[in-house]
């Protein structure tokens, strides 16, 4: 990572990494290097020369969209810039989280530094200053169909102009006041500056990077929770043997199998010599294959998003080598959109396996309550006096309902955008909406995995002495048991679910560091 110190990231003309974007999204400051500023200036000089020659340049000396072929008088070019910003404020809905706004801002700044935008130095410096003074445009959630985030990035331009409201130090304040308090002045936009600000997929890329990290964290939890369920049924460990994984040639499968082996290291419950099962249900047996395939998709997603992060996606694009401005379709974030679609389907399969394991575990827990002297089955004690450790039984049905929603979300959304702007814009990627689907899928899969954890814990608690748990599964069971032990009898299952989910998320690094426990 290009760090000056732990809280400052250099913006250069070289490719940026996903980790650097995440650092800035989390609050790190930025600094445009001398090399980046030189690249920006050379790019701007090409724009100025083209305007001076009287070239027809889309959105600079001509109109935009369906007015693309209408030439503009030279005397209105400067006045057109704030008008272009204001006319593209087409977004609606709840505000984006600050972290996503910062991610989008630094992605756009990175685009400036790579020379394709032809932006003025004052605009680049202004965006740098917004990030470093924590002045964040309040951007509505919905406004992009995946052919550039114009309807949302216009709010960044509006802030640079000192217009509208912003989030600053946790409060909503007028942009003009925030700029004044930070010792900054509104930026005067020159020809092409408005398009340079808005003609990008910066917010989509920033969102994709955040979800790439979230999906990776989710997979780490999924491996651990699946391993804990394997403890609960006394699974046969042959399916995650290294020989099996290496025989398939999938790096994701090998990583998943390795995670399972590490999680279960030292377990006496998952042992080929003592297991009663020659072959477990498929929802247990194919965890390496399904989780591994999802990891492979996640790796491809990272590669595609990295390419988009460092792409010259401006339209028109400034080519430094030939010193030309070129109208193009690089604003079309098709790779990101398809990566999101693939990720959505892959994560849905993670949720599907978890939901199926919930069913297997639920059946085992209910069966463990045995029969009364009259021969009738004894139901588990669920109701107002439900012991917290049995909350997972009550949540089995909500988990099934959430899976239904998950299945619907996994359907494609990238083919669903109608023709726009007098059918000039007759195709779009819908990348932004595909990523919002990813966000909801991550949430649902996480909810189902937490229910699985609770039912697995119930199974471990009701199946009698079972021996020693593995290194990491034992640590997870300890954390869950501690949370459940602090809840009074009759705590609602929803609250139990929330407490356990938070415990897993907040302690995941500690859990994965090792540890063991006995089931008593």
User: What CATH number does residue 461 fall under?
Assistant: 1.20.200.10
The yes-or-no verdict on residue 387 having pLDDT over 80 is no
Look at residue 519 and tell me if it is in a domain: no
Stretch 442-452: mean pLDDT: 98
Asked whether residue 308 is assigned to any structural domain, the reply reads yes
Residue 344 C-alpha from the chain's centroid = 11
pLDDT of 381 over the 90 cut: no
Q: What CATH number is associated with residue 63?
A: 1.10.275.10
User: Do both 225 and 87 map to the same domain?
Assistant: no
Give the C-alpha separation, 103 to 336, whole Å: 16
pLDDT score of 371 = 45
Q: Are 487 and 387 in contact (CB under 8 A)?
A: no
| pLDDT on residue 370 | 58
Q: Of 160, 177, 200, which marks where a domain is finished? A: 200
CB 309 within 8 A of CB 16: yes
Q: Are 239 and 280 in contact (CB under 8 A)?
A: yes
Cα-based torsion angle of the residue sequence 71, 74, 75, 81 in order, rounded to the nearest 10 degrees: 70
Cα distance between residue 288 and residue 271, in whole Å: 17
Q: Let me know the angle formed at the C-alpha of 468 by 467 and 471, rounded to the nearest 5 degrees.
A: 165
Least Cα distance to 291 among 355, 353, 212 occurs for: 353
Q: What is the pLDDT of residues 314-361, one digit of tens each?
A: 989 999 999 999 988 888 899 999 999 999 999 999 999 999 999 999
Same-domain status, 359 and 381: yes
Per DSSP, helices labelled H in 240-286 are 242-246, 251-263, 282-285
**Chosen domain end from 200, 221, 237:** 200
517, part of any domain: no
The residues pairing with 318 across neighbouring beta strands, listed in sequence order, are 325
Please name the residue that has the structure tokens 């020369």: 49
Task: Note the pLDDT of residue 514.
Answer: 53
Task: Note whether 479 and 507 are within 8 A (CB).
Answer: yes
Q: Say if 269 falls within a structural domain.
A: yes
Q: Is residue 506 part of a domain?
A: yes
Strand partners, 29: 8
Q: How far apart are CA 107 and CA 117, in angstroms?
A: 13
Q: What is the pLDDT of residues 27-56, one digit of tens each?
A: 999 999 999 999 999 999 999 999 999 899
Segment 256-307, tens digit of pLDDT: 999 999 999 999 998 877 776 778 899 999 999 999 999 999 999 999 999 9
Q: How much is the mean pLDDT over the chain?
A: 90
DSSP H or E segment with residue 8: strand 8-11
**Are 142 and 247 part of one and the same domain?**
no
Distance CA 323, CA 302 (A): 31
For the stretch 200-249, pLDDT in tens is: 999 999 999 999 999 999 999 999 999 999 999 999 998 999 999 888 88
pLDDT of residue 5: 61
Answer yes or no: do 141 and 241 share one domain: no
Say what percent of the chain tops pLDDT 70: 93
Tokens 């965890």 — which residue? 287
- Tell me: do 250 and 188 sit in the same domain: no
Cis ω on the peptide bond leading into residue 153 (within 30° of 0)? no
Structural domain boundaries enclosing 220: 209-512
Nearest alpha carbon to residue 229 among 390, 445, 479, 453: 453
Is the confidence at residue 145, as pLDDT, over 90?
no
**Per the structure, how many domains does the chain have?**
2
Do 218 and 174 belong to one domain? no
Q: Given 172, 200, 228, which residue is the final one in a domain?
A: 200
Q: Cβ(167)–Cβ(175) under 8 Å? A: no
3-class SS string, 169-204: CCEEEEHHHHHHHCCCCCCCCCCCHHHHHHCCCHHH
Instruction: Give percent above pLDDT 90 in the chain.
Output: 72
392 pLDDT exceeds 60? yes
Residue 518 domain flag: no
- Helix, strand or coil, per DSSP, at residue 33: coil
* Tokens encoding 352: 């599907």
The terminus-to-terminus CA distance of the chain in angstroms comes to: 47
Assess contact for 307 and 335: CB atoms under 8 A: yes
Task: Supply the pTM of this predicted model.
Answer: 0.93
| Whether 177 and 244 share a structural domain | no
Nearest to 455 by CA among 371, 365, 366, 392: 392
The predicted model gives 180-189 an average pLDDT of 97
CA distance 460 to 450: 15
Measured CA to CA in angstroms, residue 201 lies from 63, 144, 416, 429 at distances of: 21, 9, 19, 11
Question: Is 344 in the same domain as 400?
Answer: yes
In the sheet that holds 8-11, the strands lie side by side as 3-5, 8-11, 29-32
Q: pLDDT per residue over 468-504, tens digit each?
A: 999 999 999 999 999 999 998 888 999 999 999 999 9
Compute the distance between CA of residue 493 and CA of residue 422 in angstroms, rounded to an integer.
53
CA 415, CA 408: separation in Å to the nearest integer?
15
Return the structure tokens found at 356.
Answer: 């199926």
CA gap 437, 445 in Å, rounded:
12
């Amino acid at each position: 990572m290009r760090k000056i110190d732990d809280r400052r990231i250099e913006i250069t003309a070289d490719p940026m990494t996903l980790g650097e974007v995440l650092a800035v999204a989390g609050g790190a400051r930025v600094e445009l290097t001398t090399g980046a500023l030189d690249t920006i200036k050379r790019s701007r000089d090409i724009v100025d020369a083209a305007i001076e020659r009287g070239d027809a340049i889309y959105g600079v000396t001509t109109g935009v969209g369906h007015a693309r072929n209408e030439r503009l008088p030279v005397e209105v070019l400067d006045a057109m810039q704030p008008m272009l910003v204001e006319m593209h404020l087409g977004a609606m809905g709840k505000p984006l989280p600050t972290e996503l706004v910062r991610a989008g801002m630094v992605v756009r700044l990175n685009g400036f530094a790579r020379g394709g935008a032809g932006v003025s130095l004052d605009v680049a410096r202004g965006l740098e200053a917004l990030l470093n003074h924590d002045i964040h445009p309040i951007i509505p959630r919905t406004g992009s169909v995946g052919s550039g985030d114009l309807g949302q990035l216009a709010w960044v331009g509006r802030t640079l102009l000192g217009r509208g409201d912003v989030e600053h130090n946790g409060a909503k304040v007028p942009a003009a006041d925030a700029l004044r308090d930070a010792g900054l002045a509104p930026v005067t936009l020159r020809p092409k500056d408005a398009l340079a600000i808005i003609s990008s997929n910066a917010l989509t890329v920033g969102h994709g990077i955040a979800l790439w990290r979230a999906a990776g964290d989710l997979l780490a939890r999924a491996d651990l929770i699946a391993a804990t369920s394997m403890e609960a049924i006394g699974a046969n460990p042959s399916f995650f043997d290294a020989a099996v994984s290496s025989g398939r040639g999938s790096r994701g499968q090998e990583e998943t199998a390795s995670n399972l082996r590490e999680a279960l290291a030292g377990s006496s419950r998952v042992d080929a010599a003592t297991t009663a099962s020659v072959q477990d249900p498929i929802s247990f047996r194919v965890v390496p294959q399904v989780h591994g395939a999802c990891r492979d998709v996640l790796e491809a997603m990272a590669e595609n998003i990295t390419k988009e992060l460092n792409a010259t996606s401006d339209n028109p694009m400034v080519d430094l080598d030939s010193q030309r401005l070129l109208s193009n379709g690089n604003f079309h974030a098709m790779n990101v959109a398809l990566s999101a679609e693939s990720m959505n389907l892959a994560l849905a399969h993670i949720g599907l396996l978890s939901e199926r394991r919930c069913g297997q575990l639920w059946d085992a827990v209910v069966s463990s309550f045995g029969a009364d002297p009259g021969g009738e089955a004894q139901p588990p004690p669920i109701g107002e006096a439900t012991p917290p450790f049995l909350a997972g039984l009550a949540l089995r049905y909500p988990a099934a309902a959430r899976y239904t929603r998950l299945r619907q979300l996994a359907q494609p959304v990238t083919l669903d955008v109608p023709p726009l702007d007098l059918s000039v814009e007759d195709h779009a990627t819908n990348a932004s909406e595909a990523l919002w689907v990813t966000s909801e899928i991550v949430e649902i899969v996480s909810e189902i995995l937490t229910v699985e954890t609770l039912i697995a814990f119930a199974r471990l608690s009701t199946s009698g002495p079972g021996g020693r748990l593995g290194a990491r599964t034992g640590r997870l069971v300890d954390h869950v048991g501690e949370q459940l032990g602090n809840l009074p009898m009759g705590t609602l299952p929803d609250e139990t679910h929330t407490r356990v989910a938070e415990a897993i998320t907040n302690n995941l690094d500690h859990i994965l560091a090792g540890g063991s426990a006995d089931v008593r």
